[in-house]
Amino acid sequence: MNVTENSAVILPIEKEIIGSLKFPKEDVLKDVQEQKERIKRIDRAMHLGNNKIKVKIFFEDVEGKKVVETSIWGVTEKNIILKGTTVMPIRAIHEIKFF
């Protein structure tokens, strides 16, 4: 089932396929303030993830927008680390939602 947010179809995926995705070379967020807010939300999500709380990560690969429900276990300067050592570039993340 596809999820619709802001009139765009967002494909839900399992975190296990993230390692096989190709991500855009440019940041999906062009606004510097939005990029700073994204980092704050990533840091918060990582602290929640260390307590085994999942978040929804809305991101984009070269094929389009996707969403994954998972925990963030770590953060580097350019990437987030999900459970199972799966890595995703921060530049590909549109938004993180807590629930």
What digits encode the pLDDT tens for the residues 28-74? 999 999 999 999 999 999 998 878 889 999 999 999 999 999 999 99
Q: Report CA-CA distances (Å) from 97 to 44, 66, 86, 94.
A: 11, 13, 19, 10
pLDDT given for residue 65 in this prediction: 96
> Quick one: which H or E segment has residue 57?
strand 55-61
pLDDT of residue 3: 42
- Domains (range + CATH), the chain: 10-18+27-98 (2.30.30.100)
Burial class from Cβ neighbours inside 10 Å (0-12, 13-18, 19+) for residue 69 reads middle
Q: What's CA 35's distance to the chain center, in Å?
A: 13
- Reported pTM: 0.88
| pLDDT on residue 1 | 34
Tokens describing residue 34: 């939005």
- Quick check: 81 and 26 in contact, CB under 8 A? no
Mean pLDDT to the nearest integer, 65-89: 93
